[in-house]
């Protein structure tokens, strides 16, 4: 994929775990476990100056019974509070609460979350950039038809190896990505 023409982008969609906050193989199950990656929150605040910022996140920990939607909202309240310290915000959050075996239409790499975000902001796929760290993020973007940027935070290095040979735009972190945008 060639470089992104940021002048045509309306919405930046971020995966959550591994992009905004540290990820865990044991799942992020409490607000206390939700810890931002260095530089991610000021980067979101900078994105807010030019774009709508949304999150599309698989949260199968709900379907697995590790936490409930109330706890998820408490995690997002913590994120919102920390973002306010940088004059930042998230314009919209989509999440899939289902177990991977449920066969839902919202779990990435399915595209329902991106479809909802596009509809909310009246954006076409080419006006959206999806930023993630997993192969399901990449395949979701491919299935939806929007540009994708792989971050090397979270699962990004493993994903880079899994997607070897694909023409990827890769950036070290969300902070580094935002610094590179004109």
- Neighbour tally for 101: CB within 10 Å: 8
Reference 145, options 128, 158, 157, 159; nearest CA is 128
Q: Whole-angstrom Cα distance, residue 11 to residue 71?
A: 27
Q: Whole-angstrom Cα distance, residue 87 to residue 55?
A: 17
- Neighbour tally for 36: CB within 10 Å: 17
**Is 104 among the annotated ligand-binding positions?**
yes
Beta carbons within 8 Å of 182's beta carbon, 6+ residues apart:
6
Q: Whole-angstrom Cα distance, residue 158 to residue 131?
A: 16
Q: Which residues belong to the active site?
A: 15, 17
Pair of tokens at residue 108: 């990435």
**Is 98 among the annotated ligand-binding positions?**
yes
The answer to whether 54 and 14 have CB atoms below 8 angstroms apart is yes
> Could you tell me where the DSSP H helices lie in the chain?
40-48, 60-63, 69-84, 112-120, 135-144, 156-162, 174-180
**Is 15 among the annotated ligand-binding positions?**
yes
**Is 133 among the annotated ligand-binding positions?**
yes
- Which residue ranges are tagged as binding site for Zn(2+)? 96, 98, 104, 106
- Which residue ranges are tagged as binding site? 15, 17, 96, 98, 104, 106, 133
- Which residue ranges are tagged as binding site for Mg(2+)? 15, 17, 133
């Amino acid at each position: 994929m060639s470089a992104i023409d940021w002048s045509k982008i309306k919405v930046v969609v971020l995966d959550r775990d591994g992009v905004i906050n540290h990820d865990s193989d044991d799942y992020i199950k409490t607000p206390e476990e939700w810890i931002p990656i260095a530089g991610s929150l000021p980067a979101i605040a900078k994105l807010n100056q030019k774009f709508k910022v949304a999150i599309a996140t698989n949260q199968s920990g709900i379907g697995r019974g590790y936490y409930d939607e109330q706890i998820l909202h408490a995690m997002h309240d913590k994120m919102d509070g920390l973002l306010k310290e940088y004059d930042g915000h998230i314009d919209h959050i989509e999440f899939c609460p289902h177990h991977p075996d449920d066969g839902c239409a919202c779990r990435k790499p399915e595209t329902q979350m991106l479809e909802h975000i596009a509809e909310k902001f009246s954006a076409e796929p080419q006006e959206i950039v999806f930023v993630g760290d997993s192969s399901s993020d990449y395949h979701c973007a491919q299935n939806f038809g929007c540009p994708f940027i792989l971050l090397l935070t979270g699962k990004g290095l493993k994903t880079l190896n899994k997607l070897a040979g694909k023409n990827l735009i890769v950036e070290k972190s969300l902070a580094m990505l935002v610094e590179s945008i004109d």
